[in-house]
C-alpha cells in the first residue's frame, strides 16, 4: 500500500541538520515502522505504553475491537483493565520522574502585546492540584461532566487537567459559540458545573463571556435543567493581575486593560475562581481510572443538525496524541512549539494540551488574533519565543498571504524547523507561500489530515521522512489503514478517487457518541460495513499519495470548522418570516467555504435589508459568529425533485454562478432555476 519508491520530481523535502537526528529519519524507516504498526499493533503500541506511568497493568489486549456492524456492536478498547491518570502522566510524571519541574510548559501570550506569563511544569501541577481540590469541594466526582467555556488562558488548561485528575469528564465549548449552542451542549451531556470567565478581548473587540454564559444557564433552566454552580475566572479585572503570576514565575505581572465590565452575579449559582482557589490545598491525589473510562466529550457538527458529542477515552487517546505529537512534529526537548488553534476545538485538545504536555514540551499559548495589532503578530511571536515547530490552519495562511511577504520579513524566522497545517485541504498556492515565504524553503510542511473523531493525525507526512507534494496529506500515520471505496463499497486499487475510509482502529479513535451509541454506529459504520467512514472524499495518485478532496456529506468547512447545512437551515426557518431554507457552500478565498443561504419567505412577506440582517443575526444567536451567512438569497421557489427533495447540487451551482447544471431531469419545476440565476447574490457584504 505504501509505495516502494517515492517520486523524485515535483516533490519537496526541506533541509536542515536536524533531519539526520529525527525520530523517523527516512522514508525507509517510516515504511518499516509502519508495517510493524499494522501487522503487530499490540507490540507497537505496547512499546509506546512503556513511556507512561501505569498504576496497574492492563488485563485485556493492547488493542481490541469490532469494526464490523454485521458482526455485532462496534467497540474499540485499548489497554483495558490498566489503571492510570492522564493528568498524572502529563504533570506529576514529568515533574517528579523526568525532572522537568523547572521546564516551561507554557509561554502565555495575551491578546495585547506585552501581556504575558510563563508557567513551568511545577507551577502547572500546583495550580491543577488546587483547582482539582476546588472541584472536589464542589462535589464533582469521577464520571461527572463539567462544561468549560473559557478564553485561551492558562486557567483553561488548568480546568481541563483538574477535571481529568479527579476522573471528571470535560466538555469544552469554544468561546465563540452562542448561548443557545452552549445550552444545547450542557443539556446533552447533563453537566453538573460550568466554568467560565468574565470576558476577554479578541483583537479590539470585548467579549462579555459571563453574560453569554448566564443566558445559556437561563435557557437550561427554562428547559428544566437548573445547573447549580458556575465558577467564574476574573480574567479582565485588574485585581487579578498579582495573584495570576504563579510562584516561581519570572514574568512581570500582566498589564491588561480594565474594561467597564458588567458582570451580573447570582449568589445562588456563581462562585469566584480566585476565592475558591485561595483556600485550596496544593496536594491532590489523582483518581486512578480505567483505560476505557471516558476522558472528555467534544461536540462536532452532525449532518442531521444536532451536534454529536464525540467521546474519547483515557489510555488510547493519551498514547495516540503523545505519539503523533512526537513524530509528526519531530519533537525534540529544546523545541518551542506553537499551535495557533483554540483549545475549544480538537486541535487544541490534542496538540496544545495533551500531546505536547505528555512529551514535556514547551509551548506558546496565544490568546490573540493573527491580525492584531497588525498582520506581523504571528511572526513577532515566532521570533520572540524562538518557535521551532509551528502549526496553523490554511485559512490563517490565506488571510496573511493577502498582505504579502513584507509583514513576514519584518521578523527573523530562522528558529523555525517544521511547519504544520490542519483543518481543510490546503490549496497549492497557499502551500507554496507558507513553504517559501514563511519557511524560506527550509522547513517541511506537515499537512495533517484528521478529525475530532480520530483524536489525532491519521494521514500526514513525517517531516524528515516523507517527500511532500503541495496539497497532499501524503500517507497514513502508524496504525492507520486507509482505503478508498467506490459507491458500491468496493475497495479501489492504484490511482483512484472515492470515499476515504479506515479499515482498523488506532488507539486515538473515538469510542462512541455520548449517550447515543446507535448514532455512532449509523454515522460512521453503517454505510460500508467493516470500515470507519470519514465523510471525506479522497484521491490516490499514481505515486500512491493521498489527496483529501473535501466533505462528501452535508457538511461545510468554514475556516477549518465544520458546520452542517441542516444546523444553519434550522436556525433560519426558526425565523417567523421563513418557510423553507437551503444552505450550500460557496468557495471563499480566505475561509475556504462560505455560507450561501436560499430562503423561501411566507406569503406576503417582502425581502429587504432589515430582514436579511435579522436572519444573519438569528444564525449568529443560534450557533455562533463562525456560522454567520455571507450571502442570503430570496428564493420564491427552490429546485426540488418530484418527491420533494431539495437539489442542493443544483443550488451549489447557482451559488457558484455555474450555468452547467448537469442532469436536471428529476427536477419538478425547471422555471425556478432561471429565477434563481436572475437574483443571485454576486458579492458578499
Ligand atoms: C474535517 C474534520 C482535525 C482538526 C480540525 C478539524 C477537514 C482536517 C484536513 C487536511 C484536508 C482536512 C476534513 C475533516 N480536514 N484536516 N489536512 N486536509 N481536510 O476538525 O472539525 O473534526 O473537521 O476537517 O474534512 O473531515 P473537525
Among 127-141, 167-181, 422-436, 665-679, whose mean pLDDT is lowest? 665-679
Closest by CA to 166, choosing from 284, 3, 343, is 284
Look at residue 10 in the predicted model and tell me its pLDDT.
64
| Ligand 1 lined by 533 (C-beta under 6 Å) | no
Residues 6+ apart with CB under 8 A from 407: 374, 375, 376, 379, 400
Among 594, 572, 582, 567, which Cα is nearest to 181's? 567
Q: What is the mean pLDDT of residues 579-607?
A: 94
| pLDDT > 70 fraction of the chain, expressed in percent and rounded | 95
Chain mean pLDDT for the chain = 93
The residues facing 502 across adjacent strands are 482, 532
557 CB less than 6 Å from ligand 1?
Answer: yes
Lowest-pLDDT range of 79-88, 94-103, 467-476, 675-684: 675-684
379 grid coordinates: 511572526
- The answer to whether the CB of 534 is under 6 A from ligand 1 is yes
625 Cα: distance to centroid of ligand 1 (angstroms): 20
pLDDT at 330: 98
Secondary structure (3-state) at 226: coil
Binding site membership of 559 for ligand 1 (Cβ less than 6 Å): no
Q: How far is the CA of 451 from the centre of ligand 1 (A)?
A: 5
Please, what are the domains in the chain?
87-290 (3.40.50.12780), 559-684 (3.30.300.30)
First to last CA, the chain: 47
Give the residues across from 231 on adjacent strands: 195, 271
What's the pLDDT at 239?
A: 46
Which pLDDT does position 14 carry in this prediction? 82
Confidence of residue 261 (pLDDT cuts 50, 70, 90): low
Decide: pTM greater than 0.85.
Answer: yes
Distance 318 CA to ligand 1 centre (A): 20
Give the residue, out of 423, 502, 534, with the most ligand 1 atoms within 8 A of its beta carbon, to mutate for a pocket test.
Answer: 423
In tens, the pLDDT along 223-254 reads 999 999 999 999 987 444 444 444 444 444 44
Q: Would you say 532 and 310 are in contact if contact means Cβ atoms under 8 Å apart?
A: no
Q: Is 298 in the pocket of ligand 1 (CB under 6 A)?
A: no
Report yes or no: 475 and 2 within 8 Å, Cβ to Cβ: yes
- Could you give the C-alpha distances from 39 to 48, 74, 328, 494, in angstroms and in order? 16, 21, 21, 21
pLDDT digits (tens, 9 = 90+) for 207-216: 999 999 999 9
Give residue 448 CA to ligand 1 midpoint distance, Å. 8
Q: Are strands 561-564 and 555-558 parallel, antiparallel or unpaired?
A: antiparallel
Measured from the CA of 560, which atom of ligand 1 is nearest? Answer: 6
Is residue 257's pLDDT more than 90? no
| Protein residue with least CA distance to atom 12, ligand 1 | 424
- The reported pLDDT for the residue numbered 3 is 79
User: pLDDT tens digit string along 26-49?
Assistant: 999 999 999 999 999 999 999 999
Closest CA to ligand 1's atom 3: 451
| Mutational pocket test of ligand 1: of 324, 460, 548, the residue with most ligand atoms within 8 Å of the beta carbon | 548
Give me the mean pLDDT over the 65-79 stretch. 98
Using CA positions, which residue lies closest to atom 19 of ligand 1? Answer: 424
Q: Give the distance (Å) from ligand 1 centre to CA of residue 449.
A: 6
Q: To test ligand 1's pocket by mutation, which of 424, 535, 592 has the most ligand atoms within 8 angstroms of CB?
A: 424
Instruction: For residue range 352-365, list pLDDT tens digits in order.
Output: 999 999 999 999 99
- List the grid coordinates of 213: 454564559
Residue 404 scores a pLDDT above 80: yes
The confidence score (pLDDT) of residue 488 equals 95
Residue 683: per-residue pLDDT: 60
Q: Is 321 in the pocket of ligand 1 (CB under 6 A)?
A: no
Helix (H, G, I), strand (E, B) or coil at 33: helix
pLDDT bin (cut points 50, 70, 90) of residue 590 is very high
Other Cβ atoms within 10 Å of 57 Cβ, number: 10
CA 384 / ligand 1 centre spacing (Å): 30
Check pocket membership of 447 for ligand 1, CB cut-off 6 A: yes
User: Do 665 and 649 form a contact (C-beta atoms < 8 A)?
Assistant: no
Q: Which of 626, 595, 599, 592 is nearest to 614 (CA)?
A: 599
Separation of CA 613 and ligand 1 centre (Å) = 30
Phi, psi for 281 (deg, rounded to 5): -75, 150
Cell numbers that stand for 461 in this block: 507526512
Closest atom of ligand 1 to CA, residue 448: 17
Instruction: Report whether pLDDT(589) > 80.
Output: yes
Q: Where are the alpha helices (DSSP H) in 528-684?
A: 565-573, 609-622, 648-656, 671-678
* Ligand 1 contacts CB of residue 564 (under 6 A): no
Contact in structure between 82 and 209 (CB atoms under 8 Å): no
Our answer on whether the CB atom of 319 is closer than 6 Å to any ligand 1 atom is no
CA distances from 345 to 328, 352, 467, 608 (A): 19, 10, 29, 36
Under the banding of pLDDT at 50, 70 and 90, the label for residue 258 is very low
Q: Mean per-residue pLDDT for 553-564?
A: 90
pLDDT 10s digits, 491-509:
999 999 999 999 999 999 9
Report the separation in Å between the CA atom of 476 and the middle of ligand 1, taken as the mean of its atom positions. 15
448 lines ligand 1 (CB under 6 A): yes
Check residue 553 and give its pLDDT.
Answer: 87
Q: Whose CA is nearest to atom 23 of ligand 1?
A: 451
**Which of these, 326, 483, 490, lies nearest to 418 by C-alpha position?**
326
pLDDT at 255 over 80: no
DSSP H helical segments within 292-445, as ranges? Answer: 314-328, 346-348, 355-358, 377-385, 394-401, 406-409, 428-433
Q: Contact, 417 vs 19, CB < 8 A? A: no
- What distance in Å separates the CA atoms of residue 363 and residue 358, rounded to the nearest whole number? 12
How many angstroms is it from 312 CA to the middle of ligand 1?
Answer: 17
pLDDT band at 93 (very low <50, low <70, confident <90, very high): very high
Which triple of cell numbers denotes residue 605?
Answer: 412577506
Q: Which residues contact 413 (CB under 8 A, 6 or more apart)?
A: 379, 382, 383, 438, 439, 440
pLDDT score at 291:
98
Q: How confident is the model at residue 557 (pLDDT cuts 50, 70, 90)?
A: very high
Residue 527 has pLDDT above 80, yes or no: yes
pLDDT-based confidence at 303, cuts 50/70/90?
confident
- Residue with grid cell 489486549, as numbered in its chain: 61
- CA distances to 272, 350, 537, 551 from 425, rounded to whole Å, are 43, 20, 11, 10
Q: How far is CA 11 from CA 17, 328, 443, 562, in A?
A: 19, 18, 13, 30
CB distance 341 to ligand 1 below 6 Å? no
Residue 84 Cα to ligand 1 middle (Å): 30
424 lines ligand 1 (CB under 6 A): yes
Burial class (CB in 10 A: 0-12, 13-18, 19+), 659: exposed
SS3 288: coil
Positions of E strands within 258-399: 270-272, 289-290, 294-300, 308-313, 336-339, 362-366, 389-392
Amino acid at each position: 500500500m505504501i509505495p516502494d519508491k517515492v517520486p523524485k520530481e515535483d516533490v519537496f523535502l526541506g533541509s536542515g541538520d536536524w533531519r539526520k537526528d529525527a525520530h523517523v529519519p527516512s522514508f525507509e524507516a517510516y515504511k518499516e515502522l509502519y508495517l510493524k504498526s499494522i501487522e503487530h499493533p499490540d507490540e507497537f503500541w505496547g512499546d509506546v505504553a512503556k513511556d507512561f506511568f501505569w498504576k496497574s497493568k492492563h488485563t485485556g489486549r493492547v488493542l481490541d475491537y469490532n469494526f464490523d456492524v454485521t458482526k455485532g456492536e462496534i467497540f474499540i478498547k485499548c489497554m483495558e483493565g490498566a489503571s492510570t491518570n492522564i493528568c498524572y502522566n502529563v504533570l506529576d510524571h514529568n515533574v517528579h520522574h523526568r525532572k522537568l519541574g523547572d521546564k516551561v510548559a507554557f509561554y502565555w501570550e495575551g491578546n495585547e502585546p506585552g501581556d504575558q506569563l510563563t508557567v513551568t511544569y511545577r507551577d502547572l501541577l500546583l495550580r491543577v492540584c488546587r483547582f482539582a481540590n476546588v472541584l472536589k469541594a464542589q462535589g464533582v466526582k469521577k464520571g461527572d461532566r463539567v462544561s468549560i467555556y473559557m478564553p485561551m488562558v492558562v486557567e483553561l488548561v488548568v480546568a481541563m487537567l483538574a477535571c481529568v485528575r479527579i476522573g471528571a469528564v470535560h466538555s469544552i465549548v469554544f468561546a465563540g459559540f452562542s448561548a443557545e449552542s452552549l445550552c444545547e451542549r450542557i443539556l446533552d451531556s447533563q453537566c453538573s458545573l460550568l466554568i467560565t470567565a468574565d470576558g476577554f478581548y479578541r483583537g479590539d473587540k470585548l467579549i462579555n463571556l459571563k453574560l453569554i454564559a448566564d443566558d445559556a444557564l437561563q435557557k437550561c433552566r427554562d428547559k428544566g435543567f437548573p445547573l447549580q454552580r458556575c465558577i467564574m475566572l476574573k480574567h479582565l479585572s485588574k485585581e487579578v493581575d498579582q495573584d495570576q503570576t504563579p510562584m516561581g514565575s519570572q514574568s512581570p505581572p500582566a498589564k491588561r486593560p480594565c474594561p467597564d465590565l458588567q458582570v451580573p452575579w447570582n449568589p445562588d449559582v456563581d462562585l469566584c475562581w480566585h476565592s475558591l482557589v485561595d483556600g485550596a490545598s496544593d496536594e491532590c491525589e489523582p483518581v486512578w481510572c480505567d483505560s476505557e473510562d471516558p476522558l472528555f466529550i467534544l461536540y462536532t457538527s452532525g449532518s442531521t443538525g444536532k451536534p454529536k458529542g464525540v467521546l474519547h477515552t483515557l489510555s488510547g487517546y493519551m498514547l495516540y496524541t503523545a505519539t503523533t505529537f512526537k513524530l509528526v512534529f519531530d519533537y525534540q526537548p529544546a523545541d518551542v512549539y506553537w499551535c495557533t488553534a483554540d483549545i475549544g476545538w480538537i486541535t487544541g485538545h490534542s496538540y496544545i494540551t495533551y500531546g505536547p504536555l505528555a512529551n514535556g514540551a514547551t509551548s506558546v499559548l496565544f490568546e490573540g488574533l493573527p491580525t492584531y495589532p497588525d498582520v506581523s503578530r504571528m511572526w513577532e511571536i515566532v521570533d520572540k519565543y524562538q518557535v521551532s515547530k509551528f502549526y496553523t490552519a490554511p485559512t490563517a495562511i490565506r488571510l496573511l498571504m493577502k498582505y504579502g511577504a513584507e509583514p513576514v520579513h519584518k521578523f527573523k524566522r530562522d528558529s523555525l524547523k517544521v511547519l504544520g497545517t490542519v483543518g481543510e485541504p490546503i490549496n497549492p498556492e497557499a502551500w507554496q507561500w507558507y513553504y517559501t515565504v514563511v519557511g524560506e524553503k527550509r522547513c517541511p510542511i506537515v499537512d495533517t489530515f484528521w478529525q475530532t473523531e480520530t483524536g489525532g493525525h491519521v494521514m500526514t507526512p513525517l517531516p524528515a521522512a516523507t517527500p511532500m507534494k503541495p496539497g497532499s496529506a501524503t500517507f497514513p500515520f502508524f496504525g492507520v489503514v486507509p482505503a478508498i471505496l467506490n459507491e458500491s463499497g468496493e475497495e479501489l486499487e492504484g490511482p483512484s478517487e472515492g470515499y476515504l475510509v479506515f479499515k482498523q482502529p488506532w488507539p486515538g479513535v473515538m469510542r462512541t457518541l455520548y449517550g447515543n451509541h446507535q448514532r455512532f454506529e449509523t454515522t460512521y459504520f453503517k454505510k460500508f460495513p467493516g470500515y470507519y467512514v470519514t465523510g471525506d472524499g479522497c484521491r490516490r495518485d499514481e505515486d500512491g499519495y493521498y489527496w483529501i478532496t473535501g466533505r462528501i456529506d452535508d457538511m461545510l468547512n468554514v475556516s477549518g470548522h465544520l458546520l452542517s447545512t441542516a444546523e444553519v437551515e434550522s436556525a433560519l426557518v426558526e425565523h417567523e418570516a421563513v418557510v423553507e431554507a437551503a444552505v450550500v457552500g460557496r468557495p471563499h478565498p480566505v475561509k475556504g467555504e462560505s455560507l450561501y443561504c436560499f430562503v423561501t419567505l411566507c406569503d406576503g412577506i417582502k425581502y429587504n435589508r432589515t430582514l436579511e440582517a435579522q436572519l444573519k443575526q438569528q444564525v449568529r444567536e443560534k450557533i455562533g459568529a463562525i456560522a454567520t451567512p455571507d450571502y442570503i438569497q430570496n428564493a420564491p421557489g427552490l429546485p426540488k425533485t418530484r418527491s420533494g427533495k431539495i437539489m442542493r447540487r443544483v443550488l451549489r451551482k447557482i451559488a457558484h454562478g455555474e450555468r452547467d447544471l448537469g442532469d436536471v431531469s428529476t427536477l419538478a419545476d425547471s422555471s425556478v432555476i432561471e429565477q434563481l440565476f436572475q437574483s443571485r447574490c454576486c458579492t458578499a457584504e
